[in-house]
Amino acid sequence: MDREASGISKPTVSYTQVPPPDLKPATSPVDLTDDTMALHLEKVLQRMQTAGLDALAIYADREHGTNFGYLTGYEPRFEESVLVLHTDGKAVLTLGNESLRMAQYSRLAATTVHTPYFSLPNQPMENTRTLAELIGDAGIVPGLKVGLVGWKMFTSLLEDNGQLFDLPSFIVDAIKSVVGENGEVVNATGLFIHPHYGARVQMNANEIAHYEFGASQASDRIRRLLEQIEPGKTEMELAHELAVYGQPNNVQTICATGDRFTNAVVAPRNKEVKIGDKFSATLGYRGGLTSRSGYVVSDAKQLPSEVRDYLDAVAIPYYAAAATWYEQLEIGMTGGEMYEIIDSVLPKSKYHWHLNPGHLTAGEEWMSSPFTPDSNSPLQSGMLLQMDIIPAVPGYGGASAEDGVAIADENLRLELAKKYPEVWARMVERRLYMEQTLGIRLKPEVLPLSTMNGYLRPFLLNKKYALKIER
């Protein structure tokens, strides 16, 4: 489809009375089924065969465990771990001292090699074999072609991306020493996260229902926080709203008033909210992130004089782009087409957004992104996508209404409705709010994961007014 020729135009945005969303989050998580876990293994083995790999060494630590967890069902809590997967399906977990007990819970049938090199500093390291020898015990032998999987897929135009590795060097060096000159070691993270062919980028109904829990809870807590903002409250008091049932965050929680990150402090502080402050809040759980920013005022008269045109200069143009993102999103469009659309509605040269206008999400907040200039990667049924446009207009506070959606073709929608009727009912209710209250028209395949998709209150103390699309 020639989108330039299709006559896409910037929607009309108004700042007016808008009922805030009163939409319910998921109340309990949906576990991944045995069939889903078996499908994960099948998809990875297929891609290994296509890539001509003999084995994968899949790295994980506390911050970077989603590719490992895609096969095992769990991620390390303390240490590093490496899962060695062979093309015949044989799997070996190489684990440090405190991860050994987790082997019994792995969703993937695997043997175990105790690898104290992955343990915490000064823990017992009384092994009698070198790391290279332990890797050999996991089935990596001379002459193999081994794909290393961390969390990052490199896309440099200046380097050999297959030879850039984000695993610790002591692991990379050991594997290279084992396979020797007749073997080969390559970066294979793309097998998991590449936006065109990665095993993880298309999800089934079970996975979408699984991730909807975190996305809906993150948004619900940000919604609660917005209702609590008032002068005199501290960042820490407000951030107290941003905790959900002990669930692990996948990004640093942000609750910041005034100038952010002074003295290099990122976490919420005992700093009071004041009239005229810039304000931002961000919360992410596995499945999605919600972020909002604006000014702590009731109307433009309370803004500092130099930013009194904030609505017209930043918030309204941003909202027009965000609404356009939601409305144009559809299966089959390429990432490059969406990039061009957003650049036409919110020119990068003027609004200085410098990242991708959206990305894939899953257990981690940012998996990868199809939304790059000239990208030919098509949007596919089963993707979880986050609208993530970040304008940076000099002198002004930001505007943010970041949330996630799933896109699903008719068959996948029917499966969701049949197998997970409560999840489906929440998605339908969110669509109705976006369309009937906010004026944002969605393609049938767009399924909101957040309780706040499209809702932006730029003047945070005026809780009756928000931005919407006028038709």
149 lies in the same domain as 16: no
Whether residue 232 is found in the same domain as residue 173: no
Residues 138 and 251 in one domain: no
> What's the pLDDT at 128?
83
Question: Can you give the pLDDT at residue 7?
Answer: 61
Indicate if 123 and 208 belong to the same structural domain: no
Q: Of residues 361 and 259, which shows the higher confidence score?
A: 361
Residue 442: its pLDDT value, please?
98
pLDDT in tens, 86-135: 999 999 999 999 999 999 999 999 999 999 999 999 999 887 899 999 99
Q: Does 192 fall in a domain?
A: no
The per-residue pLDDT for 3 is 47
Tens-place pLDDT, residues 441-465: 999 999 999 999 999 999 999 999 9
Rounded to two decimals, the pTM is: 0.96
Among the candidates 187, 217, 242, a domain finishes at 187
Inform me whether the pLDDT recorded for 4 exceeds 50: no
Q: Is the pLDDT of residue 398 over 90?
A: yes
> Are 171 and 278 in a shared domain?
no
Ranges 168-172, 173-177, 263-267: which has the least confidence = 263-267
- Residue 126 confidence (pLDDT): 83
User: Domain end: 147, 164, 187, which one?
Assistant: 187
* Same-domain check for residues 179 and 207: no
Mean pLDDT of the chain: 96
Task: Give the total number of structural domains in the chain.
Answer: 2
Residue 116 counted as domain residue: yes
Q: Are residues 434 and 306 in the same domain?
A: yes
* Domain-embedded: residue 40: no
Percent of the chain with pLDDT over 90: 94
452 domain-assigned: yes
- The predicted-structure confidence for 299-325, as pLDDT tens digits, reads as follows 999 999 999 999 999 999 999 999 999
CATH at 81: 3.40.350
Q: What is the pLDDT of residues 44-97, one digit of tens each?
A: 999 999 999 999 999 999 999 999 999 999 999 889 999 999 999 999 999 999
Environment class of 471 (CB within 10 Å of its CB; exposed 0-12, middle 13-18, buried 19+): exposed
User: Do residue 450 and residue 322 come from a single domain?
Assistant: yes
End residue of a domain, out of 155, 187, 219: 187
Question: Over the Cα atoms of the chain, what is R_g?
Answer: 24
Whether 399 shows a pLDDT value over 50: the answer reads: yes
139 and 237 in a common domain: no
pLDDT(270) > 70: yes
Residues 62 and 148 in one domain: yes
Q: Residue 6 falls within a domain, yes or no? A: no
CATH code of the domain containing 247: 3.90.230.10
Domain encompassing residue 428: 12-30+201-470
Binning pLDDT at 50, 70 and 90, where does residue 260 land? confident
With respect to residue 394, please indicate whether it lies within any of the assigned structural domains: yes
pLDDT grade for 168, boundaries at 50, 70 and 90: very high
Residues whose CB falls within 8 Å of the CB of residue 166, separated by 6 or more in sequence, listed in order: 64, 150, 151, 152, 189
The mean pLDDT of 140-168, rounded to a whole number, is: 97
On whether residue 438 sits in a domain, the answer given is yes
Query: Which two tokens mark 343?
Result: 């650049």
* pLDDT tens per residue, range 340-363: 999 999 999 999 999 999 999 999
Return d(Cα 214, Cα 362) in angstroms, integer. Answer: 10
State the average pLDDT over residues 331-341: 97
Residues 182 and 212 in one domain: no
Q: Do 155 and 240 sit in the same domain of this protein?
A: no
3-state secondary structure the chain: CCCCCCCCCCCEEEEEECCCCCCCCCCCCCCCCHHHHHHHHHHHHHHHHHHCCCEEEEEECCCCCHHHHHHHCCCCCCCCEEEEEECCCCEEEEECHHHHHHHHHCCCCCEEEECHHHCCCCCCCCCCCCHHHHHHHCCCCCCCEEEEECCCCCCCCCCCHHHCCCCCHHHHHHHHHHHCCCCEEEECCHHHHCCCCCCCCCCCHHHHHHHHHHHHHHHHHHHHHHHHCCCCCEHHHHHCCCCCCCCCECCCCEEEECCCCHHHCCCCCCCECCCCCEEEEEEEECCEEEEEEEECCCCHHHCCHHHCCHHHHHHHHHHHHHHHHHHHCCCCCEHHHHHHHHHHHCCHHHHCCCCCCCEECCCCCCCCCCCCCCCCCECCCCCEEEECCCCCCCCCCCCEEEEEEEECCHHHHHHHHHHCHHHHHHHHHHHHHHHHHCCCCCCCCEEECCCCCCCCCCECCCCCEEEEEEC
Asked whether residue 272 is domain-assigned, the answer is yes
